[in-house]
Structure 1
Amino acid sequence: MTRSTLLASVAIFSSLTTTAFAQDTFDLGEIIVSGGLSPIETARYGGAASVITAQDIEDRGITNVQDALRTLPGVSVNGSSNTFTQVRIRGGEANHTLILIDGVEAAGGDGEYILSGLETANIARIELLRGPQSVFYGANASAGVINIITDKGEEGTTARTTLEVGDATTATAFVAQRNARGGISLSLSRTDDEGYDQSGDGGEKDGLERNTAILSGDYLVTDDLRLGFTVRRSEERYDFDDTPFGST
């Protein structure tokens, strides 16, 4: 084969290859690369995510966030009664789980939170994102992120109260005023539980009282800028018995 023939063969092969590749191309559609700030459908998100809505919480009769997290797959919750809660995702350490309340860090790293004291009465949804999210949220989120979102109300005026009476008494109140650009909301809750004698020796009951108040507001300053605030205060008083170590 002469040099000219070889060059002609290479040119023909290159042309055929280019044509073949051109015929195999197809449109991938819209691709969204998100840093955690852009809304995206759950079905289209590449990570493993779960959501517990307010309706899910009501249907299951869950009263606190600690028990709500136990319903999520891949999540292990260590903690009971009035104690700090350790949340492990997919076998990771508790200090690798970042817990946010309305975007504000409540637990992460060496910090823990008493999730049994966080009631579900006025919570809109709980979002769980599994897997290493440290790229967006820091090293505290290397196992996953939990975001607890409180209710902000709907457009117009929202007002509701609840009262549950039984072994414990729980009362809640919620009021909000919103328009197209923002609004303000106030959430109040109180729990009074007489409890039981944890020592088992016939002593007095070990009860608890918990009061929680959440004030939130936000306003859309421009089409691309929304300013907001959340102030949350929770106070809990509870009784307990000393453990008689070494006794039978």
Structure 2
Amino acid sequence: MSKSFRRFHLTAAPLALALTTLPAAAQQPIVLDPVILSGGFSPVEAAAYGRAATVLTAEEMEQRGVTSVQDALRGLPGVSVSSSGASNTAVRIRGGESRHTLILIDGVNAGAGDQPYDLSGLDLADIERIEVLRGPQSVYYGSDAASGVVNIITRKADRSGGYAKAEAGNGGALAFGHAVVADRWRLQADLGFREDRGYDHSVAGTGDKDGIRRATMGFSGEWSASEDLRLGFSSRHTEERYWYDGTNFAATSAEDYLEADADFWADRDERINLLWGEFASLDGRLIHRLS
């Protein structure tokens, strides 16, 4: 035991002596180059983005041949679009209720209070892209977005000019827009009209057609007060009329359930007015927005 202890003691002595010399060497300061940490302000590839999100551009929707927002949303993963008649359209994301899907138009809640928004005949004429966010990250927008968010972004011209479109068929459509863009400001107007004559919903096919008619006017503008500060506004006004059949709850057959010959109709009037300001900091990597 004693020999083993002495052997260990003699072996550990040089190590203890070496350790006592370390503090003297560590007293010499080591100056490092500045280290800058900036997390969250770097662009991320869409394929590497961790959230379940889909972006539909105007070019993609035109290639698909769709003319309304509800038709553009059909076929997206995790999104269910169901319609009853010409105007009552509900959007459900990942099995949630329609009241758990928040519909935004240029970042403004399009719904009335706590009620879900019916997309109805929302036209794509002046829409630049549609962003759909699915999953729990959407709760950032509140309890109305427990299932997801659909953000509809209207067109913002980057140069002066206009466009005009016309369609004909079982109804018709007209769209017109013009913008004046200068170095520090932009003014833009968009007008759209669409009429869909619909079809006969009755079983016997002897009723009248239930269609929808919708007109939209949009005005927007912005001004660059400085290199970092931008101010702007937008105003959107939509009027809609849609026709529907009455219901006979005393019917004894499927043919008698709908009052297909009755000329029932309803009107919708929507207005969205927005004032906003944006201030850029950190060389444009951080945007502060008040709207």
Name the TM tier (shorter chain).
0.7 to 0.9
Distance 1:193 1:47 in 2: 37
Distance 1:149 1:66 in 2: 14
Correspondence for 2:278: none
Correspondence for 1:20: none
Structure 1 unaligned spans of 5+: 16-28
Query: Per the alignment, in what secondary structure is the counterpart of residue 107 of structure 1?
Result: coil
Distance 1:98 1:192 in 2: 27
Query: Residue type matched to 2:143 in 1?
Result: A
User: For each residue in 1:42-101, what CA deviation from the matched residue of structure 2 results, as whole angstroms up to 9, or x when unmatched?
Assistant: 234321221111011111110100111113111112224433433222223322222211
Query: Per the alignment, in what secondary structure is the counterpart of residue 183 of structure 1?
Result: strand
Deviation at 1:164, TM superposition (A): 0.5
Correspondence for 2:165: 162
Query: Residue type matched to 1:33 in 2?
Result: G
Query: Per the alignment, in what secondary structure is the counterpart of residue 245 of structure 2?
Result: coil
The TM-score, its normalising length taken from structure 1, stands at 0.79
1:184 equivalent to 2:187? Answer yes
Correspondence for 1:33: 40
Correspondence for 1:221: 225
Q: Which 10-residue stretch deviates more, 144-153 or 204-213?
A: 204-213
Query: Counterparts in 2 of 1:82-231, with a 5 A limit?
Result: 82-107=86-111, 110-134=114-138, 136-155=140-159, 157-199=160-202, 200=204, 202-231=206-235
Correspondence for 1:247: 252
Paired residues, number: 228
Deviation at 1:139, TM superposition (A): 2.6
Distance 1:6 1:142 in 2: 67
Contact 1:189 1:213 in 2 (8 A): yes
Distance 1:124 1:144, change over 3 A: same
Distance 1:177 1:3, change over 3 A: farther
Deviation at 1:106, TM superposition (A): 1.2
Distance 1:128 1:191 in 2: 25
The TM-score, its normalising length taken from structure 2, stands at 0.68
Structure 2 unaligned spans of 5+: 1-7, 23-35, 254-291
Contact 2:51 2:137 in 1 (8 A): no
Distance 1:124 1:177 in 2: 17
Correspondence for 2:51: 47
Distance 1:247 1:90, change over 3 A: same
Contact 2:86 2:210 in 1 (8 A): no
Distance 2:48 2:39 in 1: 9
Deviation at 1:205, TM superposition (A): 2.8
Q: Which 10-residue stretch deviates more, 117-126 or 137-146?
A: 137-146
Distance 1:242 1:81, change over 3 A: closer
1:5 equivalent to 2:12? Answer yes
Contact 1:168 1:192 in 2 (8 A): yes
User: Which segments of structure 1 move beyond 6 Å, counting only runs of 4 or more?
Assistant: none
Deviation at 1:126, TM superposition (A): 0.5
Contact 2:69 2:123 in 1 (8 A): yes
Distance 1:108 1:223, change over 3 A: farther
Contact 1:133 1:141 in 2 (8 A): no
Distance 1:108 1:39 in 2: 35
Deviation at 1:125, TM superposition (A): 0.5
Query: Per the alignment, in what secondary structure is the counterpart of residue 63 of structure 1?
Result: coil
Q: What is the percentage of aligned positions where both structures have the same residue? A: 47
Query: Per the alignment, in what secondary structure is the counterpart of residue 136 of structure 2?
Result: coil
Query: Per the alignment, in what secondary structure is the counterpart of residue 116 of structure 2?
Result: coil
User: For each residue in 1:7-29, what CA deviation from the matched residue of structure 2 results, as whole angstroms up to 9, or x when unmatched?
Assistant: 949x99xx9xxxxxxxxxxxxx9
Distance 2:117 2:13 in 1: 74
Greater share of strand residues, 1 or 2?
A: 2
Choose 1 or 2 for highest CA Rg.
Answer: 2
